[in-house]
A = this chain, B = another copy of it.
C-alpha cells in the first residue's frame, strides 16, 4: 500500500472513530488495544503514540460523543427545554448503549459529559424562577433520574436480555408470598398500556416543582 512519505497513518480522529465503532458493534469488552490495532491495520502499540493509555482513549471517546449531543437551543418554555434536554440525553444512550454503561461508573467520564451537558439543563431550569439552591437540586434530581432511566435503556439494548422479561422470570422464581404486591400490580391491565414511563417521570417532577413554586407547604 502506498502511503505518502511523512504522512501519519493514524490520527486521533481515526482511532476514536474506530474505537466507537468497536464499542457500538460489540460492546466495551470488544475494545481491546489489540483488537483496535487490528481494526486499524496497525500494531497495537502504535495507538500509544496518540493516547497514553486505554483510559485516556475511552475518556476521549466519551468527550466526542457528548460533544455531539443535540442540546436544545436556549429558547421557549423552560419545561419544554428540560424535556428536550432529557430526550437528547436519552438519544445518546440509545445510540451508544455500551458507552453509556461505561460512563456512569467512571467519575472522570461523568465530569467530562456533565460539564458539557449541564450548561443547557441549568439554563433551562433557571428560567423557572426558582431560587439558585432549588435549581441546582432540581437539576441533580433530573440528572440522577435521567441517568438511572438511561441506564435501564442502555442495559436493555446492550445485553441481549430483556430487562422486563428478566424481572418477570426472577419474580416467578421467588415464593409467592414474597412477591404478592408485585404480581398484583404488574398484572394490572392498565399498567401494560402506553409504557412511556420516562415522560411520566418528568411530569411528576414538574408537578413537584410547580407545587414548590406556588409556595405549597409539604409535610
Q: Return the CB mask of A83-126 against B: 1 if under 8 Å, else 0.
A: 00000000000000000010011111011101110110011001
Q: 18 other contacts beyond A137-B201, A147-B151, A208-B208, with CB at 8 A cut-off?
A: A105-B155, A107-B156, A107-B162, A110-B155, A110-B163, A111-B170, A115-B173, A119-B180, A131-B190, A132-B190, A133-B191, A136-B186, A137-B204, A140-B201, A144-B145, A144-B152, A148-B151, A204-B212
Dominant SS at the A interface? helix
B108–A197 touching, CB < 8 Å = no
Q: Considering the chains assembled together, what is the distance between the CA atoms of A161 and B159 in angstroms? A: 29
Number of interface residues, chain A, beta carbon within 8 A: 75
Q: Considering the chains assembled together, what is the distance between the CA atoms of A139 and B139 in angstroms? A: 20
**Cβ of A45 under 8 Å from chain B:** no
A104–B151 touching, CB < 8 Å = yes
How far is the CB of A109 from the nearest CB of chain B, in Å?
Answer: 9
Interfacial chain B residues near A200, Cβ < 8 Å: 137, 140-141
Closest to A217 in B: B207
Partner of A205, one of B136, B174, B205: B205
B138–A204 touching, CB < 8 Å = yes
**Cβ of A143 under 8 Å from chain B:** yes
**Cβ of A43 under 8 Å from chain B:** no
Q: Considering the chains assembled together, what is the distance between the CA atoms of A182 and B126 in angstroms? A: 10
How far is the CB of A95 from the nearest CB of chain B, in Å?
Answer: 17
Closest to A131 in B: B190
B216–A207 touching, CB < 8 Å = yes
Interfacial chain B residues near A174, Cβ < 8 Å: 115-116
How far is the CB of A159 from the nearest CB of chain B, in Å?
Answer: 5
**Cβ of A8 under 8 Å from chain B:** no
